[in-house]
Amino acid sequence: MEKNNRSLATRRALTKAALHLFADKPYAEVSLLEITERAGQKNRNALQYHFGSKRALFEQILLAHADEIDALRQQLIDALPKQDSVSVEVAIDIYLEPFLQYTRRSENGRLYAKFLAHFLRTPERVEKVLNPDIPMSTPPSSLAEVLVSISPTLTPEERDQLLFVSNAMMIYSVDNLVRAEEQNILTLDSPIGRHILRTLHTSLVALWTL
């Protein structure tokens, strides 16, 4: 039991250290040694032992936080009224608000926004592809279904292009706000911060209004 607790503590320390470093600079510029030293690990092979590689740790961080945001989105989707269609405004609420909520919730949420901004700029990024044959529910039961329902005339490739641009708009906007907050310029919930987020929402609605 004690060994398992130590192992879990080490994994958490490595994950936290890596999140801080990946939030501050691109993936390629973060070394294994930096991560292990920031995590307070004397064993330089600790990262490889617990995660296998830097890439595996990077993906673990990416997916773990994404899963938490998806869970928040799913709560909104599950609360949709029983109707055939979803408006573009509601769809963008489902897409955007959980990410904003997660960013506001903790330091890790803010770090994750910065992490994603670097992630979008790197060649290691993984494209999110919507299944063109996704079965549709009434009401939609997933984010993919929500986005398909508001863009039925688009091809899967066109929808993926819109989603990539939407992700970039959302992530870069929130990343800039987080960095401005760190410099005591404004906060996400200041009047200007809220205005910027409302403008982002309006822009995303316009983007998906076809």
Give CA–CA dist 20/15, Å, rounded: 9
CB 112 within 8 A of CB 102: yes
Q: What torsion do the CA atoms of 177, 182, 184, 188 make, to the nearest 10 degrees?
A: 30
pLDDT truncated to tens, each residue of the chain (210 aa)?
556 677 888 999 999 999 999 999 988 899 999 999 999 988 888 898 899 989 889 988 988 999 999 999 999 999 988 776 789 999 999 999 999 999 999 999 999 999 999 888 875 554 443 344 444 445 567 888 888 889 989 998 899 899 989 999 999 999 999 999 999 999 999 999 999 999 999 999 999 997
Rounded to two decimals, the pTM is: 0.85
The number of beta carbons lying within 10 Å of the beta carbon of residue 104 is 13
